[in-house]
Amino acid sequence: PMLKDVFGAERRKAKTLNFSIAYGKTAFGLAKDWGVSLQEAKDTVDLWFSDRPEVLRWQDDIKATARKQKCTRTLMGRYRPLPGIMHRERARRSHFERAAINTPIQGGAADIVIMAMLKIHSNERLRELGYRLLLQIHDEVIIEGPEEHVDEAMRILRDCMEHPFENPLKVDLVVDAKAARTWYDAK
């Protein structure tokens, strides 16, 4: 069995913790959500950031830019207004600070998928092979076509998703692709 199957509960908890902190969850929010003391939550957040100081720097930079511009942006430049980023009430201000952090991450992921879908949809070779874009769920896409061309179609699909932009990203996008008769079988 795979590790993710053996340690499913632990994996889900770790994944939740990682995303929560990366998306701006504070020690207060973590303590409340996980039912631990504020000190334990603070220690957890501090430990997490001690291994990833670049994430904390990025979050601080994003919040500073958001305070200056009263908005935040996604990878493609879509913006989200943050009218309460300077609010005098800490709870209100914190809400907008988390939005400032979350929007570039979630919105950037959406930008990547949108651009990949456009590339997939407009790919003439996929059409020639009889494939079409069928469905998109979060960061997944499903294409449909004849089995005899599945290997070539998956290579094209992977390329479209790993290189969605004309100008390459600073990081590699690694795509996992599977072929199956049903979506359920592909999971």
Domain limits at 168?
114-186
Residue 85 lies in a domain: no
- Whether 109 shows a pLDDT value over 80: the answer reads yes
70: in domain = no
Residue 48: per-residue pLDDT: 94
Is 76 inside any structural domain?
no
pLDDT value for 11? 83
pLDDT averaged over every residue in the chain: 93
In a domain, 159, yes or no: yes
Structure confidence at residue 16 (pLDDT): 85
- Give the contacts of 26 (CB within 8 A, at least 6 positions apart): 45, 94
| Cα gap 67→155, rounded to integer Å | 43
- Final residue in a domain of this structure, among 32, 51, 70: 51
> What pLDDT is attached to residue 6?
76
Flag whether 79 is in a domain. no
pLDDT (0 to 100) of residue 84:
97
The predicted pLDDT at position 97 comes to 96
Residue 180, in any domain of the structure: yes
Q: Report residue 79: phi and psi, to 5°.
A: -120, 155
Q: What are the phi and psi torsion angles at 25 (to 5°)?
A: -65, 135
In this predicted structure, what is the pLDDT of residue 183?
Answer: 81
Q: What is the pLDDT of residue 7?
A: 80
| Torsions phi, psi for 142 (to 5 deg) | -120, 125
The answer on pLDDT for 60 being more than 80 is yes
Could you tell me the CATH number of the domain that includes residue 148? 3.30.70.370
Q: Which of 172, 136, 175, 135 is nearest to 157 (CA)?
A: 175
Residues near 40 by Cβ (< 8 Å), separated by ≥ 6? 31
How many domains are there within the chain?
2
